[in-house]
């Protein structure tokens, strides 16, 4: 585990809703109380981009004055959330390594299967790939005017905990908050990702010129009956924290495939019979 440096910690902030979103403003304000903050965020919304990176196209990075009132250095990037963290690490900060990478606060849930599509979590996971402690924060409220007041103390507590004690190398925390309601948050639950998914429907529509297009819609289906997953935690007014890895290897399947596959697996002894027949 990496632990807090004795100096004022350096905190990199990014997101996927864009540098002008209310969610990142909230996160920047909170992180500014904990350390030196540098912001590198998309110049436009990048929700649902997953871990996409810009290849074969221009990538622009410009200084921004949006957080000048807080005295914070900020940059807006034309690329994806993953691009933002890469540029921050290798260009903006150069020889300085952040003590913490935080992404969000996202307008909308990134629990369960949504972690795979999330631009918010891709920024955090990119930080983990680079060997930096990282957290993605999301609020289960898609509104631009979402109320973040009930999550502020938890964002601070979780970030402080990671700065003080660290997290396992290569891990990014996926933190989700219930939408603000009359129910007070009960606390924090360390969870697993729920076994749930979206059942997509592509609605066929036509534009004013009569050209056909499709609009993605669908329903979220949660068949997970456990009480140790993020969907249960959120439904029961807890903050869910899921430790995530970028290693997608299904280790439990490796032995099965080695035992059951009939095709040759692994090193083989070269067949020299044909070579000998031609001598």
State how far the Cα of 182 lies from the Cα of 87, in Å rounded to an integer. Answer: 41
Task: Give CA separation, 93 vs 75, 80, 266, in Å.
Answer: 11, 18, 43
Number of CB atoms found within 10 A of residue 142's CB: 12
| β-bridge partners, 225 | none
User: Is the CB of residue 102 less than 8 Å from the CB of residue 132?
Assistant: no
Q: Are strands 171-177 and 61-64 parallel, antiparallel or unpaired?
A: unpaired
User: Is 17 one of the annotated binding-site residues?
Assistant: yes
State how far the Cα of 148 lies from the Cα of 170, in Å rounded to an integer. Answer: 28
User: Is the CB of residue 192 less than 8 Å from the CB of residue 242?
Assistant: yes
User: Is 219 one of the annotated binding-site residues?
Assistant: no
User: Is 271 one of the annotated binding-site residues?
Assistant: no
State how far the Cα of 64 lies from the Cα of 77, in Å rounded to an integer. Answer: 10
Query: φ, ψ for residue 267 (rounded to 5)?
Result: -70, 140
Task: Give CA separation, 165 vs 2, 85, 168, 241, in Å.
Answer: 8, 23, 10, 16
3-state class (DSSP) for residue 170 = coil
Three-point CA angle 205, 209, 212, nearest 5°: 30
Binding-site sequence positions for a divalent metal cation: 16-17, 47, 106
Q: Which residues contribute to the annotated binding site?
A: 16-17, 47, 106
């Amino acid at each position: 585990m990496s632990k807090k440096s004795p100096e004022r910690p350096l905190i990199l902030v990014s997101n996927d809703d864009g540098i002008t979103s209310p969610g990142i403003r909230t996160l920047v304000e909170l992180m500014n109380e904990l350390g030196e903050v540098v912001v590198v965020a998309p110049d436009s919304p990048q929700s649902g981009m997953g871990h996409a990176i810009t290849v074969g196209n221009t990538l622009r990075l410009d200084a921004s004055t949006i957080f000048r009132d807080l005295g914070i250095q900020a940059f807006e990037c034309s690329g994806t959330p993953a691009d933002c963290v890469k540029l921050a690490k290798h260009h903006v900060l150069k020889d300085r390594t952040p003590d913490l990478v935080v992404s969000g606060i996202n307008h909308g849930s990134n629990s369960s299967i949504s972690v795979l599509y999330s631009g918010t979590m891709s920024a955090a996971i990119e930080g983990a790939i680079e060997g930096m402690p990282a957290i993605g924060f999301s609020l289960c409220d898609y509104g631009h005017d979402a109320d973040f007041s009930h999550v502020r103390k938890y964002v601070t507590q979780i970030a402080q905990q990671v700065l003080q004690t660290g997290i396992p190398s290569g891990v990014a925390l996926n933190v989700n908050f219930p939408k603000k309601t009359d129910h007070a948050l009960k606390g924090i639950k360390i969870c697993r990702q729920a076994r749930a998914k979206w059942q997509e429907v592509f609605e066929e529509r036509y534009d004013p010129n009569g050209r056909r297009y499709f609009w993605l819609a669908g329903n979220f289906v949660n068949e997970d009956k456990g009480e140790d997953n993020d969907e249960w935690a959120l439904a029961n007014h807890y903050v869910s924290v899921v430790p995530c890895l970028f290693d997608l290897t299904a280790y439990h399947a490796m032995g099965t495939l080695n035992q059951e596959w009939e095709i040759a697996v692994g090193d083989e002894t070269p067949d020299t019979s044909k070579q000998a027949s031609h001598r």
